[in-house]
């Protein structure tokens, strides 16, 4: 059975990561969770590249540290236990890619989830920090109440961005129900 051509928001995000990142790049994982994306980003930037990853939960930082250690990738990643809303204080050069995977830590406390105000602050900071030609990825999950609020606000924010600044796509299966995940991909224009 061949794989389907149309794939999920997470799969689309992973595809953009692989397309955009080159060895030696700086990438930011704004929501490290259990470190799956951090590990993927660390592989893509190679031994001369760097990843800075954020999470507010010690459990996420420890889980990601263990994953990276086992993969031999820890030396190219900086793990920051702080809100992504403060990312400008930790990121010292313009990243080529910044990825958000919103929601709660799988296997963790479902009450600790990304929240509208800090998510919007962080996404705005990420759009400022990105290098020209860089890519912002935001996976959003409207299957829970805060997730729906985040998605609505992100859509409003992105829809108001001038095309001279960013090209922005929304990937979503239209017929997968109201809780279907969404991936926003925003490419910063070279002249901006």
Ligand X SMILES: C[S@@+](CC[C@H](N)C(=O)[O-])C[C@H]1O[C@@H](n2cnc3c(N)ncnc32)[C@H](O)[C@@H]1O
Residues that bind ligand X (CB under 6 A): 31-37, 54-57, 60, 83-85, 101, 103-105, 112, 114, 118
Provide the minimum distance between the beta carbon of 71 and ligand X in the complex, in angstroms, as a whole number.
Answer: 13
> Of 7 and 165, which CB lies nearer to ligand X in the complex structure?
7
Alpha helix (H) residue ranges in 78-144: 116-129
> Of 65 and 133, which CB lies nearer to ligand X in the complex structure?
65
The two three-digit tokens of residue 54, written as one number: 């954020």
Cα separation, 105 vs 103, in Å, equals 7
Residues with Cβ within 8 Å of 130's Cβ and at least 6 positions away in sequence, in order, are 94, 95, 96, 97, 98, 136, 188
Provide the minimum distance between the beta carbon of 162 and ligand X in the complex, in angstroms, as a whole number.
Answer: 27
Provide the minimum distance between the beta carbon of 144 and ligand X in the complex, in angstroms, as a whole number.
Answer: 11
> Of 5 and 45, which CB lies nearer to ligand X in the complex structure?
45
Residues with Cβ within 8 Å of 166's Cβ and at least 6 positions away in sequence, in order, are 127, 136, 158, 186, 187, 188, 189, 192
- HSE-up of residue 152 (Cα within 13 Å, Cβ side): 9
Which residue of this chain has its Cβ atom nearest to ligand X in the complex?
A: 33
> Of 133 and 153, which CB lies nearer to ligand X in the complex structure?
153
Burial class for 188, CB neighbours closer than 10 Å (0-12, 13-18, 19+): buried
Provide the minimum distance between the beta carbon of 99 and ligand X in the complex, in angstroms, as a whole number.
Answer: 7
> Of 36 and 76, which CB lies nearer to ligand X in the complex structure?
36
Provide the minimum distance between the beta carbon of 83 and ligand X in the complex, in angstroms, as a whole number.
Answer: 4
């Amino acid at each position: 059975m061949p794989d389907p051509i149309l794939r999920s928001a997470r799969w689309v995000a992973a595809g953009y990561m692989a397309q955009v990142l080159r060895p030696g790049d700086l990438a930011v994982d704004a929501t490290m969770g259990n470190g799956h994306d951090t590990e993927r980003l660390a592989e893509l930037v190679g031994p001369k590249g760097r990843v800075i990853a954020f999470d507010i939960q010690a459990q996420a930082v420890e889980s990601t540290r263990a994953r990276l250690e086992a993969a031999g990738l820890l030396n190219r990643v900086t793990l920051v236990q702080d809100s992504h809303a403060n990312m400008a204080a930790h990121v010292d050069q313009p990243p080529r890619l910044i990825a958000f995977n919103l929601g709660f830590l799988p296997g963790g406390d479902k009450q600790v989830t990304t929240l509208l105000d800090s998510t919007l602050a962080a996404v705005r900071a990420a759009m400022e920090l990105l290098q020209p030609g860089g890519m912002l990825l935001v996976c959003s999950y409207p299957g829970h109440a805060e997730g729906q609020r985040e998605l609505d606000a992100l859509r409003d924010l992105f829809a108001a961005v001038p095309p001279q600044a960013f090209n922005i796509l929304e990937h979503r299966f239209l017929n997968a129900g109201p809780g279907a995940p969404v991936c926003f991909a925003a490419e910063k224009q070279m002249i901006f």
